[in-house]
Amino acid sequence: MRTMTGWAALLLACTAMASAAPADEHFTVIFSGVAVGHLDVVAKGSTVAVDYDYKNNGRGPTLSETLALDAQGLPERWQIDGSTTFGGKVAERFERRGTTVTWTDSVGPGTAEVPEPRLYIGQNASPWALELYARALLADDDQRLPVLPAGEIALLAGEPITVTGPDGPLDVRAYTLTGLSLEPDYFLMDDKQRLFALISPTFIVIRKGFESEDVRLRELAATLSLQHLESIQQQTAHDYGAPVRIRNVRLFDPQALALTAPVSVVLNGRYISAVEPNDSPMTPGEVVIDGQGGSLVAGMHEMHAHLDQGDGLLNLAAGVTSVRDMGGNNAVLDTLVQRIESGVLAGPRVTRAGFIEGKSPFNANGGILVDSQETAIDAVRWYAARGYFQVKLYNSMTPAWAPAIATEAHRLGLRVGGHVPAFGNADQMIDAGYDELTHINQIMLGWVLTPEEDTRSLLRFTAMKRFVDLDLAAPRVQATMRRIVERRIAVEPTIGIHEAGMLGRDGEIPPGALDILDHMPIGYQRNARRGWFDLSEPGDDAAYRAAYARVLDTLRMMRERGVLLVPGTDLGGSFAYHRELQLFQQIGYTPAEVLRRATWDMARYLGNDQQLGSIAKGKLADFFLVAGDPTADVAAVKSIRLVVKNGTVYYPSEIYPHFGVRPFVDAPPVVLPDG
């Protein structure tokens, strides 16, 4: 709570901000050790111009900002133009005149009367805005401020460190900013209160001349995130050290596709020790949890994760106790898996896919980059020696290398899947030896593109507009369908990411967030109401909507023909995973079939069904409790009251407030043993 309020505190804040006026600054954007763009800041008097651009994996934002600052260093006007990562147009405006402020972002226009100047949070602002926010927070007595359009941000100062650049050593300090999104932002500033770097375990924006500090600062970001998440884990993970009896629950039986009669489930340590009639007598020393007639479902599998530390608890809170990681920084993932398995961090168990990408001007920066068939085969052997489940080929891979890669992977017991590389099509990849195709658009693009069109760019998204004219009965379409069916190719469609891209519109609540958005932090809410794609051409809106309907028609046809459709999001899992399950229901699966696909079917697919996928004596204690009946409507999985992973009990109502999320449902009653 502040001890100084009103104009006195503001005057102190403004004095400090004015003493650290913006200056020309230049930054390099680095992703997984590779320079991919820039951030340039030019200050002329009270005007600041920002140029921010980077491209990784053939996409990234291009933004131009102009800010007019008042004598105290607060924005009077702020203009942001350009495009977002997927090409959506940006034309954001903010203006303050006296006590009246107005703004326009993707959500729409807004206005407010504020008796004292208040920070506006730019929806599409570049990382340089962190400098602006931090200087205001540092001058406030408790480093916590209300902001526009809504919400509150807070700053925590960390330890000073010394970095080395072209002019020798420089002293900087780490800071943690909360309130903008589900997870904190980590960055460093110098002693003049100017931004030095935005840092994360895989991505940094760092002052030019200091690029050699990349690895060290990414490690620092991982440490700061780890400390934050360790604290949450200590507060929310319940290892009772005694048998736990969850009584009065109905189990989802994936074979019967139905709920059982009420029973009690007893777990001891990591395993389920008994499934008993509900009226079975308790033994001394048990912890008793009253399920109050709810449904107990085995832990679910998110089959398209790119896991980072912050995903772990949110996935557990969503009932996702297992994920398949589809590729990123291998060393970062190794460390994360070790921390999860040792209990330092909360998170799902991880099955890994080895990411192999060809070198090109458009390549993604993660996994192993290769420049020949021989180095690609070496990458397969590297992943096999380290126990990976499969290899995943990506956009810049040369299609002609795929048969040799698949042959070697199969020889070593690995499955093969991934994207359709540029200048190839799904038929070729199936013939080459793919076991699984990732993303439904990767298949459908082969039906609408010409051979010379390059999908390493945003074309792999924008060309989806052409689906509107696609005849699903056409010989070309049916030939691919026959290959998929006859060769038993699995398809991981990631329906939700296509819904978000093709149906997302500025100012509209996306269909997948209608029943959760008001529980989220304000930054999450604003970003959710932002369209992904450029819709500036006449007819684009209708074309994308009709094309999305054709995507669903294609998936319905696959379901009807018995294709194994694999549930994954490529959106971090958690809330997006719940939406993915709803979309599986939309394409024709019953709610019970969706639950079986997310639990038992995926455990079998990954070879883990002896321990996971259903709730039975001797299996791992991995399941979650919902208040309603998910076999009637899979949306019931959004009301999770309890999650157990490896015998550790979590209550989402305790986890969500740490991420700024208002809980969806209360925890069940718990009775601890006497003494």
Whole-Å CA distances, 508 to 494, 526, 532, 537: 21, 10, 12, 19
Side-chain half-sphere of 125: how many Cα atoms within 13 Å? 21
| pLDDT for the residue numbered 22 | 78
| pLDDT for the residue numbered 67 | 97
| pLDDT for the residue numbered 336 | 92
Range of the domain at 61: 6-235
pLDDT at 12 over 70: no
- Could you tell me if residue 101 is inside a domain? yes
Average pLDDT, stretch 349-356? 97
What's the pLDDT tens digit per position in 479-513?
999 999 999 999 999 999 999 999 999 999 999 89
> What confidence tier does 1 reach under pLDDT thresholds 50, 70, 90?
very low
Cβ–Cβ contacts within 10 Å for residue 629, how many?
15
Residue 294's φ and ψ, nearest 5 degrees, are -75, 180
Residue 121 DSSP code: -
What's the pLDDT tens digit per position in 407-432?
999 999 999 999 999 999 999 999 99
- Could you tell me if residue 467 is inside a domain? no
| pLDDT for the residue numbered 2 | 32
Q: Domain tally for the chain?
A: 1
- 17 SS3 class: helix
* Residues 396, 370: Cα–Cα separation, whole Å: 10
- Could you tell me if residue 262 is inside a domain? no
The lowest-confidence range among 125-129, 313-317, 327-331 is 327-331
> What confidence tier does 23 reach under pLDDT thresholds 50, 70, 90?
confident
Whole-Å CA distances, 436 to 123, 428, 572: 37, 13, 20
- Could you tell me if residue 61 is inside a domain? yes
| pLDDT for the residue numbered 171 | 97
| pLDDT for the residue numbered 579 | 97
- The pairing of strands 185-190 and 623-626 is unpaired
| pLDDT for the residue numbered 9 | 39
| pLDDT for the residue numbered 309 | 87
What's the pLDDT tens digit per position in 552-595?
999 999 999 999 999 999 999 999 999 999 999 999 999 999 99
Name the β-bridge partners of 325.
305, 352
| pLDDT for the residue numbered 17 | 45
- Could you tell me if residue 521 is inside a domain? no
* Residues 464, 441: Cα–Cα separation, whole Å: 7
Q: Which residues of 582-616 are buried (b: 16+ CB within 10 A; e: fewer)?
A: bbbeebebebbbbbbbbbbbbbebbebbeebbbbe
| pLDDT for the residue numbered 675 | 55
| The two structure tokens encoding residue 152 | 């509150």
What's the pLDDT tens digit per position in 191-215?
999 999 999 999 999 999 999 999 9
- Could you tell me if residue 248 is inside a domain? no
What's the pLDDT tens digit per position in 378-417?
999 999 999 999 999 999 999 999 999 999 999 999 999 9
| pLDDT for the residue numbered 116 | 85
| pLDDT for the residue numbered 394 | 96
Q: Are 343 and 647 in contact (CB under 8 A)?
A: no
> What confidence tier does 474 reach under pLDDT thresholds 50, 70, 90?
very high
- Could you tell me if residue 609 is inside a domain? no
- Could you tell me if residue 76 is inside a domain? yes
| pLDDT for the residue numbered 71 | 82
Whether the model clears a pTM of 0.85, i.e. scores above it, the answer is yes
Whole-Å CA distances, 429 to 327, 346, 371, 633: 19, 37, 19, 36
Average pLDDT, stretch 244-248? 98
Query: Is the N-terminal amide bond of 146 cis, ω within 30° of 0?
Result: no
| pLDDT for the residue numbered 310 | 85
pLDDT at 10 over 50: no
Cβ–Cβ contacts within 10 Å for residue 24, how many?
11
Mean pLDDT of all residues belonging to the chain? 94
pLDDT at 311 over 70: yes
